[in-house]
Amino acid sequence: MLVRTKVATISPAETEGVGKKRLWTMAHQDALIGYLFILPQLAGITIFVVVPLVLVFWYSLHEWNVLAGNFDYTGLDNYRQLFADPVLPEILRVTGIFSIGLVAFNMSLALLLAILLNQKLHGIILFRTLFFSPVVVSLVAWTIVWGFLLQKDGGINGLLAVIGVEGPNWLRNETSAMVSVIIVQVFKNVGLNMVLFLAALQNVPGELYEAALMDGASRWQQFLRITLPLISPTVLLTAIITIVGSLQVFAQIAVLTQGGPGTSTTVLVYYLYQQAFQFHLFGYGSTLSILLFVIVAILTFAQWQLRKKWVFYEA
Amino acid sequence: MKHSLSARTKVAVYGLLCVLSVPFVFPTWWMVTSSLKPASQIFAFPPVLFPRDADLTTYSKVFSLQPFATQYFNSAYIAAVVTLGTMAVSSFAGYAFARIRFPGQNLLFMVVLLGLLIPAEVTIVPLFQFFLKFGLINTHWPLILIPVFGAPSVFATFVMRQFFISLPAELEEAARIDGLGRIGIFWMIALPLARPALAAVAIFTFLHSWNLYLEPIVFLSSPEKFTLPQALTQFVDAYGGPMWNIQLAAATLTAFPVLLVFVIAQRHFIEGLAHTGLKG
């Protein structure tokens, strides 16, 4: 407004200068507000993510036993220990099985549920609510109930016994313990992926199916050629979130199996917690943290690369 | 796939839905009913699906064995503060990254996104050291400060940014012509429009804080400071074995209010999370 009133009284050349200066300061003021707005987040990330990440690396170069009270620079010794750790291959195998099993089961169940919920049926909202409800149940409460259900004489074996099947002692047997922790986690959170898939399915234009129907495509062909390609961005996004999430599963394992029996459910995060906070080996714990970070980073990067090849359609 | 289904297919779909809902519903049902059974009955065979006489002494034990009311309050107030704090931090940052131009913007956004890449477990050792230095171990500060400003809030910021990017530019131009400054536009135009995104942020932030387990067991050591997830696992007998009926009663008390809110507002929960939560 000010600029405009000045236009009448001063020469065009001057106006231009004033206008520019005003714009310049306005842009500056705007940028300043921008910096102020991001300041809390940026400061938080610096203090709680960037600096700790650097420190983890620094700690990983030390032998640091909290109980013994030492903190000695040992260079790459912890990394040598990491590669020589006789337990670590087993831990990585367990982590891999857990993550792959979890992601495969979670994604396929989520897709199945979403397809069922996408049918025009009465009362479908009720089922959506039921499938989603474990998401809002407190994680540890959910885990405790399942721990109770999975006892040798617990509810699941009780129900199996009614139909004449003798169930295993779920949490005390290596294979069934792994199956148990995967199942408990999948039923807890599959509702999230389910609603994301459902939203994606509902965004697929109906005309495409009509056209396919006219061309004589079967249901299965329609699913493979239309549905799957069109929802692939959502599939990718949820796959990333689910895989990275699977590497962070801690509470369920701490409550259900404490990593056992033996090391059969000791995933990397749980091993890291044991080394750092139960055996007080902060140096080696930090080395394991770096390993976890590298794995997550590689997975995320690989998936973003895959995205270029695999995703047919961008929402 | 919106074809109308034949009657036979309909029955099949309903049947499948019912079977599939068992593992989602039965645990919650079993938690509530078992918490009402006397200890002698909880492992009874055949399983008692409908307990006849409710035994409420278990519930009084939940409160006498641990300062459960205090722990409940701890969880509730921490979750409330974290939710409000995250909403504030993420709407400021999300708005700035979406709609304000400033030098270094993209680089700074990348730095912030680093938070998405780094699981809390990776940085837990240095964070423990950090709070130890400031004498804040066994206080609630780490459980508030880390989620509000650290890695967990990045996802919220990302969601808010995606939302603000989708706002039409004409809206802000109109407001500018009406004489609103940048802060006025943010506060009076953009933020009120962002209510659905804010609701999604509020829901998942609350659930995240309410479920937090690793951080409490690392940072807290005295029962009156504990949060609920940690407290639930502490109902054990002299041999360290879980006192199942008491754990289940405590679990029921923990799950119930959130479940109730969810059932009432399930539409907002699910659609909010599905449509604003993760798009883009």
Domains present along chain B, CATH in parentheses: 75-277 (1.10.3720.10)
Task: Tell whether B84 lies on the interface with A, counting CB pairs under 8 A.
Answer: no
| Angle in degrees, CA B146, B149, B152, rounded to 5 | 65
**If pLDDT is split at 50, 70 and 90, which confidence band does A311 have?**
low
Instruction: Give one word for A64, left, alpha or beta, with left for phi > 0 and alpha for psi -120 to 50.
Output: beta
Task: Tell whether A43 lies on the interface with B, counting CB pairs under 8 A.
Answer: yes
d(CA B91, nearest CA chain A) in Å: 9
Residues 121-140 of chain B whose Cβ lies under 8 A from any Cβ of chain A: 121-127, 129-130
| Angle in degrees, CA A88, A94, A98, rounded to 5 | 145
Name which of A33, A133, A195 is nearest B259 (Cβ-Cβ). A133
Q: Looking at this predicted complex, what is its ipTM?
A: 0.86
pLDDT tens across the length of chain B (280 residues)? 445 678 888 888 899 999 999 999 989 988 888 888 877 777 776 667 777 777 788 888 889 888 999 999 999 999 999 999 999 999 999 999 999 999 999 999 989 988 887 877 888 889 999 999 999 999 999 999 999 999 889 989 988 998 899 888 888 888 888 888 889 999 998 999 998 889 889 988 998 899 899 899 999 999 999 999 999 988 888 787 888 888 899 999 999 888 888 888 888 778 777 765 454 3
Is the pLDDT confidence value at A277 over 90? no
Contact by Cβ (8 Å): B215, B145 = no
**If pLDDT is split at 50, 70 and 90, which confidence band does A274 have?**
very high
pLDDT of residue B261: 87
Closest CA in chain B for residue A202: B1
pLDDT of residue A178: 94
pLDDT of residue A24: 67
Residue among A148, A258, A314 with most chain B CBs within 10 A, to mutate: A148
d(CA B16, nearest CA chain A) in Å: 9
pLDDT of residue A23: 63
Task: Tell whether B229 lies on the interface with A, counting CB pairs under 8 A.
Answer: yes
DSSP B123: G
- The mean pLDDT value of chain A amounts to 84
Listed range (A173-177, A306-310, B224-228) with the worst mean pLDDT: A306-310
Closest CA in chain A for residue B33: A145
d(CA A103, nearest CA chain B) in Å: 17
Q: In this complex, do A138 and B211 lie within 8 Å of one another by their Cβ atoms?
A: yes
Which domains does chain A possess?
2-59 (no CATH), 79-310 (1.10.3720.10)
Sign of CA dihedral B140, B93, A247, A64: negative
Residues 148-167 of chain A whose Cβ lies under 8 A from any Cβ of chain B: 148-149, 151, 153-155, 158-159, 161-162
Contacts of A40 in chain B (CB under 8 A): 88-89, 92-93, 149
Q: In this complex, do A227 and B115 lie within 8 Å of one another by their Cβ atoms?
A: no
Say how far apart CA A53 and CA A46 lie, in whole Å. Answer: 10
Name which of A120, A250, A292 is nearest B214 (Cβ-Cβ). A250
Contacts of B150 in chain A (CB under 8 A): 44-45, 47-49
Is the pLDDT confidence value at A82 over 80? yes
Is the pLDDT confidence value at A26 over 80? no
Is the pLDDT confidence value at A268 over 80? yes
d(CA A162, nearest CA chain B) in Å: 7
Task: Tell whether B50 lies on the interface with A, counting CB pairs under 8 A.
Answer: no
Contact by Cβ (8 Å): A226, A209 = yes
Give the 3-state secondary structure of residue A70: strand
Question: Tokens standing for B15?
Answer: 């049947």
Say how far apart CA B119 and CA A192 lie, in whole Å. Answer: 19
Q: In this complex, do A133 and B121 lie within 8 Å of one another by their Cβ atoms?
A: no
Task: Tell whether B258 lies on the interface with A, counting CB pairs under 8 A.
Answer: yes
Task: Tell whether A48 lies on the interface with B, counting CB pairs under 8 A.
Answer: yes
Peptide bond into A205 cis (omega under 30): no
Closest CA in chain A for residue B161: A38
Residues 296-315 of chain A whose Cβ lies under 8 A from any Cβ of chain B: 296-297, 300, 315
Q: Look at strands A70-73 and A62-65 and give their pairing.
A: antiparallel
| Residues facing A281 on adjacent strands | A65
Q: What are phi and psi of A183, to 5 degrees?
A: -60, -45
Closest CA in chain A for residue B158: A41
Is the pLDDT confidence value at A13 over 80? no
Listed range (A244-248, A262-266, B114-118) with the worst mean pLDDT: B114-118
Task: Tell whether A50 lies on the interface with B, counting CB pairs under 8 A.
Answer: yes
Task: Tell whether B256 lies on the interface with A, counting CB pairs under 8 A.
Answer: no
Q: In this complex, do A198 and B274 lie within 8 Å of one another by their Cβ atoms?
A: yes
Q: In this complex, do A153 and B43 lie within 8 Å of one another by their Cβ atoms?
A: yes
Contact by Cβ (8 Å): A103, B216 = no
pLDDT of residue A8: 39
- Cβ-Cβ contacts under 8 Å between A and B: the total is 309
pLDDT of residue A309: 66
